[in-house]
Amino acid sequence: MFCESSKELAHFVSEARAFTNQGKVADYIPALGKANPHDLSIAIKYPDGRYVSAGDVKKKFTLQSISKVISLALVLSDHGPDYVFDKVGMEPTGDPFNSIAKLENMVPAKPLNPMINAGALVVTHMIEGKSVDARFQRLLAFIHDLTNDYTIDYCEQTAQSEYETADLNRALSYFLKQHGQIDEPVEHLIQLYTKQCAIEMNCLQLARIAMVFAQDGKDHETGKQIISKDIARICKTFMVTCGMYNASGEFAIKIGIPAKSGVSGGIMGAVPGKFGIGIFGPALDDKGNSIAGLKLLELLSKNYSLSMF
Ligand code: DON
């Protein structure tokens, strides 16, 4: 039996919140530097529609790298796995998310997986549409389906802040373009990618997306199969092997669920066959994962035996 009461969850949140003191909010994207490092909230969404939550769960945050799982699900649905995995690999890197190191040694320059920035840029490049805006609207429409919430949009200020400072992602994109892995103007790709990363939601909405992945791509509340079972499986597998970057191995041992983090402090966790988790805690550890969010998941995993291993 998992946590059924918000009161019970609040107890774990207050225990994990102490760890926010040991983390730091991301400020390499200046807009993210304004977050309150002591925030910590969690929502759990069950397939029957119930939510259990604790903390300020209505506070919005940007998805950042969590969006990489969603864009991957979209391009896999549009193009199929053979096309996508011809351009981006399936292996963890053990390197930081924005590293260029392994890309240089790959022939052809194929990013090792879609959860690192190089791989995510190749995936975003595959989003179809006639213009950057049309492609972005396509991704947003997919998120509207996943959340069953048509109000979700992006934070223009955060997108602009990242766009103005995204030189490392530009460097990765130019490298990929030189090696034929992308064939559009780098500025277009960076515009689309920074908007994608700036899509904004709260823990309740994130938990709902996680629940769809947990339930093999189906939203049991609406009865809609939003992602195929096979694509949900592929995405969850990447979440296990690469979702927490170069902390994925430790996360698998200590917590043991498919999860994806973002530098805004969000974590999306999908407990297979059971429920979805959305967490927001902007103080990060040195690998870019929410420090208190990880602690909270560790407490929950131990208490309720969540590990799938
Ligand atoms: O590309 C970037 O640097 C950010 N938009 C996203 C990075 C990120 O969230 C990595 N997460 N832990």
- Cα dist from 184 to 92, 181, 198, 250, whole Å: 27, 10, 21, 37
Give CA–CA dist 257/245, Å, rounded.
Answer: 14
What mean pLDDT is predicted for residues 68-91? 97
Residue 6 is predicted with a pLDDT of 87
Give CA–CA dist 208/219, Å, rounded.
Answer: 9
| Mean model confidence pLDDT for the chain | 96
Q: Ligand 1 mean position to 104 CA, how many Å?
A: 20
Q: Ligand 1 mean position to 114 CA, how many Å?
A: 12
Residue 5 is predicted with a pLDDT of 84
Domains along the sequence of the chain with CATH: 6-64+199-304 (3.40.710.10), 67-197 (1.10.1500.10)
b/e for 48-68, b at 16 or more Cβ within 10 A?
A: eeebbbbbebeeebbbbbbbb
What mean pLDDT is predicted for residues 219-225? 95
Give CA–CA dist 16/167, Å, rounded.
Answer: 34
Give the contacts of 94 (CB within 8 A, at least 6 positions apart): 246
Q: Ligand 1 site: residues with CB under 6 angstroms?
A: 64-65, 97-98, 117, 162, 169, 197, 245, 261-263, 288
What single letter denotes the amino acid at residue 194? Answer: T
10 Å CB burial of residue 134 (0-12, 13-18, 19+) is exposed
C-alpha torsion sign, points 167, 172, 178, 184 = negative
Residue 2 is predicted with a pLDDT of 76
Q: What is the pLDDT of residues 250-299, one digit of tens each?
A: 999 999 999 999 999 999 999 999 999 999 999 999 999 999 999 999 99
Q: Ligand 1 mean position to 157 CA, how many Å?
A: 16
Asked whether residue 1 carries a pLDDT value surpassing 70, the answer given is no
Residue 36 is predicted with a pLDDT of 97
If you take atom 11 of ligand 1, which residue's CA is the nearest one? 262
Asked whether residue 127 carries a pLDDT value surpassing 70, the answer given is yes
Asked whether residue 72 carries a pLDDT value surpassing 90, the answer given is yes
To test ligand 1's pocket by mutation, which of 65, 170, 291 has the most ligand atoms within 8 angstroms of CB? 65
Number of the ligand 1 atom closest to the C-alpha atom of 261: 12
Tell me the percentage of the chain whose pLDDT exceeds 90.
91
Residue 106 is predicted with a pLDDT of 78
What mean pLDDT is predicted for residues 3-31? 94
User: So which residues are the catalytic ones?
Assistant: 65, 68, 193, 245, 263
Q: pLDDT category, 55, cuts 50, 70, 90? A: very high
Give CA–CA dist 257/238, Å, rounded.
Answer: 11
If you take atom 4 of ligand 1, which residue's CA is the nearest one? 64
